[in-house]
Amino acid sequence: MPDNTRIPAKNNPADNGERLQNVLAQRGVASRRGAADIIKSGVVTVNGARIMQPGHRVDIKHDTVKVDGVVLDPKCEPKRTILLYKPRGLICSAANSQGTTVCDLLRQQIPEKLVPVGRLDKDSEGLLIMSNDGELINILTHPRYGHKKTYNVWVSGAIDKNKLATLRSRMEIDGYVIKPVQVEIIKINPRDNTVKLAFTLSEGRNRQIRKMCELADLRVISLQRIRIGALRIGRMKPGDWRELHENDITTLKRQAFCIDSKDHK
């Protein structure tokens, strides 16, 4: 049975209201792209009717929107963005169906529903931005805005000029040719044949560094993200977090648009 008597009208771009995709993103359900995927999966209803079009327009003051059966709060939370040192073993997701998430870590400390911006795989640690600011999330996750990120990676296996050249090349991973990555040797430990490398890249394919190392016949022992744009890890430890203030966010946005303008010259 419908949740109330109002039935969603047929989708019309001229209709009043907001795109359903944006409504979800503005309330911290997911990024705009993530919200679109959630809607397409069929778990979102408007006034009891299942909606699978991210562009469907709703009037959040009058329509009842549910995600997985949970009513979406019509009020937008105050915008909040933090920088978290993600510990190893946590999943970068707002849903905990596959294990403990970064959202679980913060639930008792932060009342707002923040979502991870980008991802670090379960076995990796380091800097992660979390936010409910839909505009910022879109800027930081859209492929056109290539924020540089730096990772410290301990690997096992002999390293030489050929392997470095391989890691720095336009490698093909899962059918996609990646952009060249800056790779530098930080430390060599000859006792156990391990090497600490610094990777700086402007795109983040799924488990990209791990797959790069595998193609270079190197095994990743640990992976830590230490920089996102101008944000650095400093003295943060696993589980630590700090607020990102307006000047931090302005800097992130400015860097994104500078990168985008360079790419389109």
Which residues are tagged catalytic?
121
Q: Decide: 232 and 245 in contact? Cβ < 8 Å.
A: no
* Nearest in space to 85 (alpha carbons), one of 131, 130, 126: 126
Question: Are residues 139 and 253 in contact, defined by beta-carbon separation less than 8 angstroms?
Answer: yes
Contact 113, 119 (CB under 8 A): no
> How many whole angstroms from its chain centre is CA 186?
27
Type of residue at 84: L
The angle formed by the CA atoms of residues 248, 134 and 57, to the nearest 5 degrees, is 160
- Three-state SS sequence of 205-243: CCCHHHHHHHHCCCEEEEEEEEEECCEECCCCCCCCEEE
Gap between the Cα atoms of 197 and 151, Å rounded: 8
Measure Cα distances from 124 to 66, 86, 120, 169, 252 in Å. Answer: 33, 8, 6, 23, 23
b/e map 192-223, b = 16+ CB within 10 Å: eebbbbbbebbebeebbbbbbbeebebebeeb
Angle at Cα 104 formed by Cα 103 and Cα 110, nearest 5°? 65
